[in-house]
Homo-oligomer: A and B are copies of this chain.
């Protein structure tokens, strides 16, 4: 630690904006503003390194710190001509936290430090305002006692209220100087009673108490919690800013306020802010007085008095700083200012928080205004902002009764009446507009019902459970794994903790945060503006990765294309079989006991499949479409409930016994590792044959319509090159036949999913047979980590939250160390034997920015994700490429 303290103040500033890691955001920006010549109350910043030392050593300071603090205090006193603890012209300071990353309200702050029975007299005299001085004193005692001495806040409120009550007044401002003196006395007695010690009168004791409290607040519970959510490293630490006080509450020529260089909600380019006359910053926060707009643009009603009107000169000065700071920082700024007796002081500037919509608008506008370049604009927007733009969200102003929180499985908010089964949903949809399907977990049978509902809520499952995957595919809000939910299907109710909700009650889910909210909450939808279009166009200039979408229907395909997908990376053929007319043929196929019977049933399915592919190929004119052959275990297509089994048996004309026996025989201990993927096609080559025929016939038909069709046929769950060889043989033979029948030929790539560790480990063999690899990172994660995504919910909760074994859900963000290593092995080996192999990824990770960065850096050709994540992927792909430079 070379230097523990950095001074700031006009002409004597030691730090700058680039030193955020060392000085924290606040400290670095105060130094920068001071350097720019802005009126910043001088002070000094104790570095984050000191905090780290303090934390590690269990509460000790590095040698020499005390000495350095004294030296900087003297410097401060010299500049201001005031003295810390002085009877006549006392220096008062604020002590504030300030971490490298913004952690608003998470850590402690103390104002007015340096007041005691002696200095309060000097403050009264120097300000010529005794009431102000004692008000500051009592505020300081209350704040200090709470933050540093841990005396409960409400005890001070009780004292204050008692005095007000005795005097029969309601507002603080109605208390006179004697009341305040009395309160100071009572406060000190309270502190003595609670802490068994006198309130510290010594100003240096006060200062060190405050510094310690700020350092310690780095590890208070809410700060830890916040860091976990925002992924801020534990070891960064906070800086401490000791800054001379300025007061906005010294009369009607004083004020305090907050301003944004642009509107943080809409992103519009005008100065925007609020202020209060004769007030300290905390008054704005407390919400007792309503802040006023700083200018006309910030007005919400006409009766409001703006700062521009009230103090036009000072407003002009403030506006000049607005321009200066935004141009200097090249981003929208959130500034705090105080006016003390007609003098403007700048207390803080930082990049302003903004809504997703504003984030995009501001970045693009700044680029269009020539303040930042294209690359910066693209890097400025976070993929989360883009995500936020695409889904309705809970009205930020709405009052919420949050019942519980599950996993945010598919973003956006939705409200609707509770329905407990997909079948009922279909029934009820006739009379109800909005339904929320609430299930223990969903299964492929539920697809039709899920598609009809406004949102899906499950008690079990993780981020890649069936409900989650399907909902994301449908672009429907979804909350999964909400373990507080207990469903009682008999009574047709569900309990969330103590709350009982009936079938038909209104409920709201927020798939972006996981919240489950009572009733019908108002929602707002961000509009897609021109700036969004511009941003997306810019991403295309920079990204190398192609973005495709996972889409199983023509309408999904169209959505994906509208969002900018340049192809389909995964078309799952099995989802096509759950329609009423289709499932029947599928079941016939499964229940066939001979190849002949099976072929007959498959013949019924053929035209349906072909029709689906025709629709998809049309929608994807000119773009590639990767179609995966049948993947899930067959038992997924058979009914589970007894009543359903009976119906099916009678439809099929077989006995319930035989049907049950067949269903039983298809049961597996671990279906994820069972008879699925290419294992089906190898056992029943006639399935692959039918599917190939449907694909190629559709391709021929659509080609004859004059469209460009680029089919890629993908064999799933290959673990052995011979599996691929056998399936490829079926595909090629069938393909040739169909081409002969249609008297044409098309180029068709035949490739495989890499979703088993063995596939990755033997890529050097498999790549010889494959035109492309598409990494199925969902399954690859399951097998590599040994986690079943259907069961992993509670384990991940323990692993991420309680035990901190994992940082992220590996089904959302790729495990680069483990799964990533397998992928790298596979790519390296594959390229050696097949230089031109096409490399893609079609797991959930295809829509995750961190994972996209990994795929981009490792030479993938494309990622494929849910249609609704395509814009996010486009941005993430561009940012990854830009960050590589």
Contacts and interface: CB of A to CB of B under 8 A. Distances in A.
Given A683-B798, A722-B804, A790 B822 contact: no
A483 to B, nearest CB: 10
Interface in A745-798: 755-758, 761-762, 765, 779, 782-788, 790-792, 794-795, 798
B818 A788 contact: no
Nearest to A784: B757
A821 interface: yes
A187 to B, nearest CB: 43
Contacts of A286: none
Contact of A682 (B679, B765, B783, B798): B798
Contacts of A675: 791, 794-795
Interface in A620-665: none
A658 to B, nearest CB: 12
A758 to B, nearest CB: 4
A682 B806 CA distance: 13
Contacts of A806: 720
Q: Which of A673, A722, A762, A818 has the most CB of B within 10 A?
A: A673
Contacts of A722: 803-805
Contacts of A798: 682-683
A798 B678 CA distance: 13
Contact of A723 (B791, B805, B818): B805
A787 B668 CA distance: 11
A756 B782 contact: no
A229 interface: no
A132 to B, nearest CB: 55
Nearest to A685: B803
A37 interface: no
A717 B785 CA distance: 9
A785 B717 CA distance: 9
A803 B727 CA distance: 11
A791 B758 contact: no
Nearest to A822: B761
A757 B795 contact: no
A786 B719 CA distance: 8
Contact of A785 (B683, B756, B805, B822): B756
Nearest to A719: B785
Nearest to A783: B783
Nearest to A674: B791
Interface string A672-706: 11110101001100000000000000000000000
B757 A822 contact: yes
A670 B720 contact: no
A790 B762 CA distance: 24
Contact of A669 (B679, B717, B790): B790
A671 interface: yes
A786 B673 contact: yes
Contacts of A822: 757, 761
B758 A815 contact: yes
Contacts of A786: 672-673, 677, 717, 719, 755-758, 779, 783
Contacts of A762: 817-818, 821
A341 to B, nearest CB: 57
Interface in A714-730: 717, 719-720, 722-723, 726
A784 B758 contact: yes
A211 to B, nearest CB: 34
Nearest to A821: B761
Contacts of A821: 761-762
Contacts of A804: 722
Nearest to A726: B803
Interface size class of A (residues with CB under 8 A): 35 or more
Interface in A806-839: 806, 815, 817-819, 821-822
A140 B237 CA distance: 99
Contacts of A723: 805
Contacts of A679: 795
A682 B805 contact: yes
Contacts of A805: 682, 720, 722-723, 726
A680 to B, nearest CB: 10
A720 B806 CA distance: 8
Given A762-B818, A805-B726, A673 B791 contact: yes
B794 A758 contact: no
Contacts of A785: 719, 756-758
B784 A761 contact: yes
B758 A788 contact: no
Nearest to A758: B818
Contacts of A669: 671-672, 788, 790-791
Contacts of A819: 758
Contacts of A761: 784, 817-818, 821-822
A803 B682 contact: yes
Contacts of A803: 682, 722, 726
A674 B794 CA distance: 10
Contacts of A755: 786
A256 B675 CA distance: 56
Contacts of A815: 758
A821 B821 CA distance: 13
B674 A673 contact: no
A761 B822 CA distance: 8
Contacts of A787: 673
A792 B719 CA distance: 14
A372 B428 CA distance: 87
A803 B782 CA distance: 27
A215 to B, nearest CB: 27
Interface in A27-76: none
Interface in A324-362: none
A91 to B, nearest CB: 49
Contacts of A719: 785-786, 818
Task: Give the 6 A-B residue pairs with the shortest CB-CB distance, closest first.
Answer: A670-B788, A673-B788, A758-B818, A669-B790, A757-B757, A668-B791
Given A669-B788, A670-B673, A720-B805, 11 more contacts: A669-B791, A672-B673, A673-B782, A673-B783, A675-B791, A679-B795, A682-B798, A682-B803, A756-B786, A757-B757, A757-B784
21 contacts: A669-B672, A669-B788, A669-B791, A670-B670, A670-B671, A670-B788, A673-B787, A674-B791, A679-B795, A683-B798, A720-B805, A722-B803, A756-B784, A756-B785, A757-B785, A757-B786, A758-B786, A765-B817, A779-B786, A783-B783, A783-B786
